[in-house]
Amino acid sequence: MSNVFIAFQTTEDSRPIVESILADNPGAKATESPGMVKIDAEGSLTVKRTSIEERIGRAFDLQELQVHLITISGHLDEDDDEFTLAWPN
């Protein structure tokens, strides 16, 4: 199974997002490089709106991810609650 990944700029806003992803995706692994953090996961990875909201204490629109995002790999499926990257085979 191929890896998917998502990378964010290292910012105060992205920290709770990264924490949520690592909590919600047990196999996911974060690698820090200067200015950025890249999260790899085998097969698929899901970003959950409610997990981020729990951490930041306010409503969060998943499309806010766009502001901090650097890159992704995998096919994307996005709705109001989840942002999922996956390689289907």
Q: Are 43 and 1 within 8 A, CB to CB? A: yes
- Half-sphere exposure in the Cβ direction for 12 (13 Å, CA): 1
Sheet holding 44-48, edge to edge: 44-48, 82-86, 75-78
Nearer to other proteins, 50 or 71 (CB): 71
Q: How far is the CB of 24 from other proteins (least distance, A)?
A: 19
CB of 72 to other proteins, least distance (A): 5
φ and ψ at residue 20, rounded to 5 degrees = -60, -45
Q: Which is nearer to other proteins, 26 or 80 (CB)?
A: 80
User: Which residue's CB is nearer to other proteins, number 7 or number 18?
Assistant: 7
Residues making contact with other proteins (CB under 8 A): 2-5, 7, 9, 33-36, 38, 58-61, 63-64, 66-80, 87-89
